[in-house]
């Protein structure tokens, strides 16, 4: 139900009878209760079919956005998968990861460094994560992707200080 509202966090569990007591104990140790109002709202949305309709719309929108990302950045090595809300964009060798992030920020494009997703002690791949669910509409997404593509075609400006 998190796709309907980020604050709506609960789930249903259908556990085997043999695990029921252990599961109940674990759940009771982790949380006290979910708001009855939110639970009632979620049940109503599920029973009326509104949750399914909303999920269908979200999946359709994400597919359309992913197709746009893949078509505009087709020759960049972009990686994504079906039903993902994000894609991984390799940073060209001419760019350092930090310079590429700074250049995107200057253009008003917010992405996340691969560094944020790598466990300590592992090599950081030169890549950024694009969240294509974040832009408000397809026009904004298209504009941002075109800016990224244009930036990828340029060479970074080297600044050296002694």
Q: What is the mean pLDDT of residues 98-108?
A: 94
Measured over the CA atoms of residue 101, residue 104, residue 106 and residue 109, the dihedral's sign is negative
Q: pTM for this one?
A: 0.73
State yes or no: pLDDT of 8 exceeds 70: no
State yes or no: pLDDT of 82 exceeds 80: yes
CA distance 94 to 155: 7
Using alpha carbons only, how large is the chain's radius of gyration in Å?
A: 21
Q: What is the mean pLDDT of residues 66-80?
A: 95
Tokens 């309709």 map to which residue? Answer: 53
**Residue 128 confidence (pLDDT):** 96
DSSP, residue by residue, 18-80: GGHHHHHHHHHHH-S---HHHHHHHHHHHHHTHHHHHHHHHHHHHHHHHHHHHHHTGGGT-B-
Closest to 67 measured CA to CA, from 54, 89, 90, 84: 84
32-51 residue pLDDT tens:
667 788 778 888 888 999 88
Q: Lowest-confidence range among 1-10, 52-61, 67-76? A: 1-10
**Residue 26 confidence (pLDDT):** 80
The CATH number given to 65-152 is 3.90.1150.10
Q: Lowest-confidence range among 5-9, 121-125, 158-162? A: 158-162
Q: Residue 65 CA to chain centroid, in angstroms?
A: 12
**Residue 160 confidence (pLDDT):** 57
Tokens 């026009």 map to which residue? Answer: 139
**Residue 161 confidence (pLDDT):** 56
More confident residue, 49 or 158: 49
CA distance 116 to 94: 22
State yes or no: pLDDT of 63 exceeds 70: yes
Mean pLDDT for all residues in the chain: 87
CA distance 53 to 120: 41
Q: What is the mean pLDDT of residues 89-109?
A: 93
Quote the tokens at residue 23.
């599961």
| CA angle 134–138–141, rounded 5-degree value | 55
Closest to 76 measured CA to CA, from 85, 88, 58: 88
């Amino acid at each position: 139900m998190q796709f309907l509202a980020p604050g709506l966090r609960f789930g249903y569990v259908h556990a085997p009878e043999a695990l029921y007591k252990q599961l109940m104990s674990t759940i009771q140790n982790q949380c006290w209760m979910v708001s009855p109002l939110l639970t009632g709202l979620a049940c109503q949305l599920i029973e009326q079919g509104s949750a399914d309709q909303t999920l269908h719309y979200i999946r359709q929108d994400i597919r359309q956005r992913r197709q746009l990302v893949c078509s505009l950045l087709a020759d960049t090595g972009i990686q994504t998968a079906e039903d993902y809300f994000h894609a991984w964009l390799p940073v060209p060798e001419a760019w350092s990861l930090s310079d590429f992030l700074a250049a995107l920020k200057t253009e008003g494009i917010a992405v996340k460094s691969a560094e944020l997703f790598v466990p300590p002690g592992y090599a950081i791949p030169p890549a950024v994560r694009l969240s294509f669910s974040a832009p408000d509409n397809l026009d904004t997404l298209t504009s941002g992707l075109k800016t990224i593509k244009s930036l990828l075609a340029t060479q970074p400006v080297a600044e050296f200080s002694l």
